[in-house]
Amino acid sequence: MNHPPRRQLCLLAAILLASSLIYGCSSKPTNEHRYELKGRVVSIDRAKGEVTVDHEDVKGYMPAMTMAFPLRDAEALKVLEAGDGLQASLVITDEGYWLDTPVITKSIPGVSPAAPPAGASEPQPGAEVPDVKLVNQDGRPFSLKQFRGRALVVTFVYTRCPLPDYCPLMSANFAQLNSALLKEEALGGRAHLLSVTLDPEYDRPSVLRAYGATYAGGRFDRWDFATGDPAEVRRLAEFCGLTYKAEGGQVVHSLRTAVVAPDGKLLKIYRGNEWKPDEVLGDLRNLPAS
């Protein structure tokens, strides 16, 4: 791997800092909080404008973990490589969070960067979804097969997730789907929702029930929350291409939402948090009538 000489890097860092300061002057959303974040780049998704960072404790906000952040700096996105050191401001507002004012430290030649986490493979539409056995918010065991004949929309969350754009957003989206399924009887009879915890040891049925009640409004007839044997949870999550690991009371995780057809085969996978409830409702409405 080629590493630019240090002088160029300092210049680059200065330009990056200056350019992000200019961006920083544009209109500020309300309720903005900034925290210093320091860590090592694990991977970069240039198309999505995201960088996954293995970061240290963010004082006053979150413990050390590895997670993806939007990086609002086009230049930095271009030059970042896995293994680089990154220092940036973590900006949190009502609308979301992102990194800005990045300062990049290139990895030292000869020192191999931290290996990226083993990526789960991405499932293909049409693949048979594993028939995992789980337990719902009432402590009732079930297996995915029991939903055959209806479409199943599955997502993964954990109740202690602190990041507004991650689990709370998935659950808010599912709450919208739930309302639609409850309102439209024809649709409700053809589809079911399932939120599976990535923290099955902490998220026991009673915890899920309390969490679910805040989103599902006490109506669990179209929406189940599932925990169970961590190995079963992992089997389903990894089938969906989701990576996660527990770290200091938190779960570092990516996001996947799967639409399973009534025959138990994968119809569609939504990656990340940008999908809208209407898209999923569209998928459900377009299911061939059974």
Residue 285 CB, nearest approach to Cu ion (Å): 28
Nearer to Cu ion, 107 or 254 (CB): 254
User: In the complex, what is the shortest distance from the CB of residue 237 to Cu ion, in angstroms, rounded to a whole number?
Assistant: 12
- Say which DSSP state 151 is in: E
Q: Which is closer to Cu ion, CB of 201 or CB of 263? A: 201
**CA 160 to chain CA mean position, Å:** 14
Helix (H, G, I), strand (E, B), or coil: what is residue 280? helix
Asked if 101 and 22 count as a contact pair (C-beta separation under 8 A), the reply is: no
CB of 41 or CB of 67, closer to Cu ion: 67
The Cα angle at residue 54 between residues 239 and 232, in degrees rounded to 5: 25
Q: Which is nearer to Cu ion, 40 or 256 (CB)?
A: 256
How many Å apart are CA 120 and CA 66, to the nearest integer?
16
Q: How far is the CB of 243 from Cu ion (least distance, A)?
A: 13
Q: Which two tokens stand for residue 275?
A: 């999908």
**Structure-token pair, residue 119:** 């990526």
For residues 147 and 225, which CB has a smaller minimum distance to Cu ion in the complex?
Answer: 225
Q: How far is the CB of 168 from Cu ion (least distance, A)?
A: 8
Sheet holding 141-143, edge to edge: 141-143, 133-136, 223-227, 191-197, 151-157, 256-260, 266-271
- In the bound complex, what is the minimum distance in angstroms from residue 171's beta carbon to Cu ion? 10
Least distance from Cu ion to the Cβ atom of residue 22, Å:
32
Q: Which is nearer to Cu ion, 167 or 233 (CB)?
A: 167
> What residues make contact with Cu ion under the rule CB under 5 A?
161, 166-167
Q: How long is the chain?
A: 290
Closest-approach residue to Cu ion (CB):
161
What is residue 188's three-state secondary structure? helix
